[in-house]
Chain A
Amino acid sequence: MIKLDEIQKRILREVADLHEVPEGAFNIRSDGHSVGRQSTANIEILPKTDVSGLEIRIRPGTKNESVHIPVVMTKSGLKEVVYNDFFIGEGADVLIVAGCGIDNCGTADSEHDGIHRFYVGRGAKVKYVEKHYGSGDGKGKRILNPGTEVYQEEDSVVEMEMVQIKGVDDTERTTLATLKAGAKLLVRERLMTHGEQRAISKYDVRLNGDGASADVVSRSVARDDSFQKFDAKIAGNAPCSGHTECDSIIMDRGRILAVPGLEANDLDAALVHEAAIGKIAGDQIVKLMTLGLTESEAEEQIINGFLK
């Protein structure tokens, strides 16, 4: 049985909704080492031998199982790059929960760069949840640079939920996806930056097969002096449908740059991009004030709802 200290437990709650050691397959990485790992009959988790990271193999047809691979960093000054490869067998239906929490109370920067590759078999369904969280009042920065690559076989479905609400100083996220015929990708990104934070999110989605579809939606809030860049590109290389949406609220002196990118290389590629950036509408605040909320309570309700 693994022992977790209070900081580790708190971070696990934030990034993976975990209160104790999870059921099913898991690997908990803390300060550069695996502190607990469990495979199941259908899901095998093996450490890589050449680089730091894991190989996760999910048998074809595995249903309703989950994999948790949270990362916790509590030592100031730690920098790591981790490669995790997921092989999801044909027809499997699984939940994968990743996430990284950094607690940095020291003066040196802490950085975790997680590179996740997903090889999704024909007809498989994956729900992937990735949460980022930073805490600690040290001067050292909390830096996360996740790289995600998704390779989808025919008729597979991948649903990704990416959340970063608090405390990460610097992040550069790149997501690359290629989809074969009938495959479907859904991305829901929620992001809030404050202070002097900087967050960049790039997507490069290639719809290569007949009937492939992608829906990439980002909702974000930039407060204080923070900066965000949302750079979403979808290429339609076959009869397909793609949609990207960037919906953002700016507050204080926050800045957001949205860069839409659509590339139609097939006559039957239907691609749509939507982007809207603006401050909270004044009438929304007034409406909630007529219901008895103060101006700051009203803002909080609006932001909470928006990022829900």
Chain B
Amino acid sequence: MLELKNVSFAVDADLGDREIIRDVSLTVPAGRLIAVTGPNGGGKSTLAKLIAGIEKPTEGRIVFLGEDITDKSVTERARLGISFAFQQPVRFKGIRVMDLIRIAAGKEITVADACAYLSAVGLCARDYIGREVNASLSGGELKRIEIATVLARGATLSVFDEPEAGIDLWSFRNLIEVFESMRAEVKDSSIIVISHQERILSIADEIVVLKDGAVDRHGPREEILPALIGTPSAVPECRPAEIASERRVFGQ
């Protein structure tokens, strides 16, 4: 479905070019969930942005569904079926949650449809549908709305940049259900998730470890995960304090 061929990405630094992605070649087959992990600063977010078209590679080609998309814009890639959930969701004054979901869906949708997406990410739809996507929403709420917009897109390839970061009380189980329902809804669709969370890595079909801008390891989960457990590339799902507060909220 997606193929990165010898992709490199460099930025102008004070002392010559600094390479953030170095000669990455990667194939994402249809119908797979690929988790990308690795140390901080290893180039994971940049890789996601290169796929979405927010950054353009300095070298190499990107092929999506047989078409070379290296020179295509963010909009063109979106229309071809690539969806992207930001690590830090953007706020908009005046644009309501309903508006954003409608834009994501690319067509007129009913309030009931929009509510279904919000419910899927664990938000009480009635409370959110008319709200502005502005600073009055918490980081966790924004993060879930961001995921809801990706759901509404129904894309062939969805890229999530650390979707679990900041989702506070929302359980991992829900996030995993979201991934599963996305795969079920769009036939042969694939998901790329950037994450350190062991729980997310443990549902991936394949794991890619990115280190210093290059692919360090890539293979089926069964092969890659055991060696990662206990390292910063695969941390347990929640800190104990978070689990405790979650239990209080859900009355357990």
Q: Which residues in A have some Cβ–Cβ distance to B below 8 Å? A: 219, 247, 281, 283-284, 286-295, 301-302, 304-308
Contact = CB atoms under 8 A, between A and B. Distances in A.
A305 B99 contact: yes
Contacts of A284: 90, 92
Contacts of A294: 75
25 contacts: A219-B94, A247-B93, A281-B90, A283-B86, A283-B90, A286-B90, A287-B89, A289-B74, A289-B75, A290-B74, A290-B83, A291-B78, A291-B100, A291-B103, A291-B106, A291-B149, A291-B153, A292-B103, A293-B103, A294-B75, A302-B92, A302-B95, A305-B95, A305-B99, A307-B94
B54 A286 contact: yes
Interface residues of B, number: 25
Contacts of A283: 86, 90
Contacts of B153: 291-292
A301 B95 contact: yes
B79 A292 contact: yes
Interface of B: 52, 54, 73-75, 78-79, 83-84, 86, 89-90, 92-96, 99-100, 103-104, 106, 132, 149, 153
A292 B93 CA distance: 20
Q: Quick one: which of B84, B93, B96 has the most chain A CB within 10 A? A: B93
A304 B100 CA distance: 13
B79 to A, nearest CB: 5
A289 B93 contact: no
Nearest to A307: B94
A292 B152 CA distance: 12
Contact of A287 (B90, B93, B94): B90
Contacts of A295: 75
A288 B103 contact: yes
Contacts of B74: 286, 289-290
B94 A308 contact: yes
Given A283-B90, A284-B90, A295-B75, A290 B95 contact: no
Which 6 pairs across A and B sit closest by C-beta, in order of nearness?
A305-B94, A305-B95, A289-B74, A292-B78, A287-B90, A290-B84
A294 B53 CA distance: 13
Contacts of A308: 94
A61 B94 CA distance: 36
Contacts of B149: 291
B50 to A, nearest CB: 13
Given A286-B74, A287-B90, A292 B95 contact: no
Contacts of A292: 75, 78-79, 103-104, 106, 153
Contacts of A290: 52, 54, 74, 78, 83-84, 86
Contacts of B96: 305
Nearest to A281: B90
A199 B166 CA distance: 43
A293 B95 contact: no
A301 B100 CA distance: 10
Contacts of A291: 78, 100, 103-104, 106, 149, 153
Contact of A305 (B73, B75, B93): B93
B194 to A, nearest CB: 15
Contacts of B132: 305
Contacts of A288: 103
Contacts of B84: 290
A308 B76 CA distance: 28
B92 A289 contact: no
A289 B73 contact: yes
A161 to B, nearest CB: 15
Contacts of B92: 284, 302, 305
Contacts of A287: 86, 89-90
Nearest to B89: A287
A223 to B, nearest CB: 17
A56 B86 CA distance: 55
A306 B75 contact: no
Contacts of A304: 94
B115 to A, nearest CB: 19
Nearest to A249: B93
B125 to A, nearest CB: 19
B54 A306 contact: no
Nearest to A280: B92
Contacts of A307: 94
A306 B93 contact: yes
A301 B90 CA distance: 14
Given A290-B83, A307-B94, 13 more contacts: A247-B93, A284-B92, A289-B73, A289-B75, A289-B78, A290-B54, A291-B100, A291-B149, A292-B103, A292-B104, A295-B75, A305-B93, A306-B94
